[in-house]
Amino acid sequence: MAACWLLRSLSSNFSTVLPLLARSASLSPLQLASKPYFGRTLASSSRLSAALKFTDKHEWIRVEDGIGTVGISNFAQEALGDVVYCGLPEVGAQLAQQDEFGALESVKAASELYSPLTGEVVEINTLLADNPGLVNKSCYKDGWLMKMSISKPAELDSLMDEAAYERYIHSIED
Amino acid sequence: MSESTMMSQIKRTFSLLNQRACSRSSSSFFTDSDSAGLVLQSHSTDVYQNLALEDWIDANVELQGRGILLLWRNRPAVVIGRHQNPWTECNLPVMRRAGIPLARRRSGGGTVFHDLGNLNLTFFTSKKAYDRQRNLKVVTDTLRRLRPGLDVQATDRFDILLNGRYKISGTASRLSRKSSYHHCTLLHSADRSALSSVLRPSCPGIQSNATPSVPSPVANLLDHAPSLQWEELLGALVQQYNTEFGLHSALTVIDPTNESMFPGVGEMEMELRSWDWTFGKTPKFTMETQLELTNEQPPARCSARLQMEVKNGQIESCHLDVPVEWVPVRLSSELSSVLIGERFCPHRAAAAFSALLRSESGATHTRLHRLCDAMLTVMG
């Protein structure tokens, strides 16, 4: 099941056909043994589309041209349940890494959102005001939360790539 | 055990529970079952002090593998959820006249009226151990044990209903960095007429995407179980909590303003009291309504249209459409523009209008005054 969402998220994020990279055997055990699949590009190797990095609070960030788009992961949106309200920051807000920048209210609870990096909010997803469910339906694409400038690019190294995030989720679930 | 011994034991427990920074250095203390849970009761009946205490515990206490039950009650207050609009949820003018404060909590959910007849229970756990149904089971099991005939049931909305119809408990919760809390109300003997008078909108015509409350008919436990005393209820809840979670915690009364036990709690209380938090956190909304203007000498009446956009509790835009027979356009547009940037608040608006009112006289002044009053009335 986790492998299926991975496939869906890959196909929704990569708009161009990228060179297929075979997965090395040492990567996660979520192999699709019987079907062909698209490999993932590594963050540093592609300028056409950036890879996602993840925090341990289940936010993702995708950096393109110095601007990071932030959202929550599929694991997070499933755990959260139906989002009924997105409390987002003001454009111009200055955030340090791990600062609380807003909250999502779902039927389950009000959950804080934590900034993946240090920077300034440059845009928020105004569609979420009338359609907070986008966070559930399309957490990696239309349900993005905010965009921010990156003051300390080195902080990206402290975040998990997709493989590391998958391992992290498995370790919590156990 | 003397009170000072009890307090120093609590202090020790809290400082050991505070070891977030050195979580790796686990001592045998953490495996001791007495440290697996705490049952606390707040000595304060101030809503802001109690909400600050919740914030403090949530931010500072290590909750992996343990839980805390906090029991508290407040002098009359209205508490709105994190993303709610106070102007649609409660009657601010009535509350002001009655001296009933408004607080915004950090958890989600709807608006509630608190008074000394309402018991609040907060269940603090790690995020992994977050289980609202289990917590509510503590409450329903307690009630059924105390009064076996009582028909109480938790719903899938996490309300507790009496006799299948009356809400006696509502729930809200918060998930934060490392922990979570689930709190709920329990109506023992609340003032139901005060409740219904304050849980009404202040202003007409508000459009917003703030989270709405789901109104429900309520009942007090005391009305259906007349012999159920407050102390009996509390004692039984503590016992059931211990039973459910395999603990042996005695109830300890604490002072949430004790800065040495809860360093930084005073600052949390100040933030909760601030206008910026209580009103300024209101999601953006528009208000559109008709103002009925009447005058005596000479008799006159007409309707005006008022439209405002309010963001962060401040008026971002204001359009006033008043027939020119009432006041000239220059005056109505002046009235609109003095409000821009002001807090959406009748006192601030009245102050903003005062200079304009002073500069007019005679019949124009009277009609302008009527117009100002009509605007103040719809601003809660």
Question: Can you give the pLDDT at residue A41?
Answer: 41
Summary mean pLDDT of chain A: 79
Nearest to B211 among A105, A129, A172 (CB): A105
Residue pLDDT, tens place only, B94-148: 999 999 999 999 999 999 999 999 999 999 999 989 999 999 999 999 999 999 9
Cβ within 8 Å, pair A109-B81? no
Side-chain half-sphere CA neighbours of A45 within 13 A: 7
Contacts of B175 in chain A (CB under 8 A): 108-112
Question: Quick check: B197 and B213 in contact, CB under 8 A?
Answer: no
Residue of A nearest to B133 (CA): A108
Question: Can you give the pLDDT at residue B296?
Answer: 83
- Section A21-31 average pLDDT: 37
Cβ within 8 Å, pair B175-A85? no
Cβ within 8 Å, pair B108-A110? yes
Residue of B nearest to A86 (CA): B83
Question: Can you give the pLDDT at residue B36?
Answer: 80
Residue of A nearest to B157 (CA): A107
Handedness of CA A13, A19, A24, A25 (dihedral sign): positive
**Same domain for B11 and B79:** yes
**Same domain for B149 and B128:** yes
Residue A168 has pLDDT above 80, yes or no: yes
ipTM of the complex: 0.83
H-only helix segments in chain A: 2-13, 74-80, 127-130, 134-137, 162-173
Residue at which a domain ends, from B245, B278, B311: B278
Q: B237: Cβ–Cβ under 8 A, 6 or more apart, which residues? A: B71, B121, B138, B139, B142
Residue at which a domain ends, from B242, B257, B278: B278
Q: CA nearest A101: which of A57, A51, A38, A141?
A: A57
Question: Can you give the pLDDT at residue A51?
Answer: 86
* SS3 category, B302: strand
Q: How far is it, in rounded angstroms, from Cα B152 to Cα B164?
A: 7
**Same domain for B263 and B297:** no
The answer to which of A21-30, B215-224, B229-238 has the lowest mean pLDDT is A21-30
Cβ within 8 Å, pair A111-B175? yes
Cβ within 8 Å, pair B83-A87? yes
Question: Can you give the pLDDT at residue A42?
Answer: 42
Handedness of CA A40, A44, A45, A46 (dihedral sign): positive
E strands of A14-72, at which residues? Answer: 53-54, 59-64, 67-72
**Same domain for B174 and B299:** no
User: B191: pLDDT confidence band, cut at 50, 70 and 90?
Assistant: very high
Encode burial over B306-323: b for 16+ CB neighbours within 10 A, e otherwise.
Answer: bebbbbebbbeebebebe
- Section B31-53 average pLDDT: 85
**Same domain for B257 and B138:** yes
Residue pLDDT, tens place only, B58-69: 999 999 889 999
Cβ within 8 Å, pair A110-B209? no
Q: Which residues of A touch B (CB under 8 A)?
A: 57, 84-85, 87, 103, 105-106, 108-112, 114, 129-130, 172
Question: Can you give the pLDDT at residue B35?
Answer: 64
What's the CATH code of the domain at B360?
A: 3.30.390.50
Q: A76: Cβ–Cβ under 8 A, 6 or more apart, which residues? A: A58, A59, A139
Taking the CB of residue B340, how many other CB atoms lie within 10 A of it? 13
**Same domain for B299 and B256:** no
Q: What are phi and psi of B364, to 5 degrees?
A: -60, -40
Tracing tokens 């979420």 back to the chain, one arrives at A128
**Same domain for B340 and B224:** no
Tally of domains within chain B? 2
Q: CA nearest B272: which of B257, B283, B254?
A: B257
What's the CATH code of the domain at B92?
A: 3.30.930.10
Contacts of A108 in chain B (CB under 8 A): 173, 175
Cβ within 8 Å, pair B83-A105? yes
Question: Quick check: B237 and B319 in contact, CB under 8 A?
Answer: no
Nearest to A109 among B107, B128, B211 (CB): B107
Q: Print the domain residue range for B81.
A: 3-278
**Same domain for B200 and B66:** yes
User: A174: pLDDT confidence band, cut at 50, 70 and 90?
Assistant: low
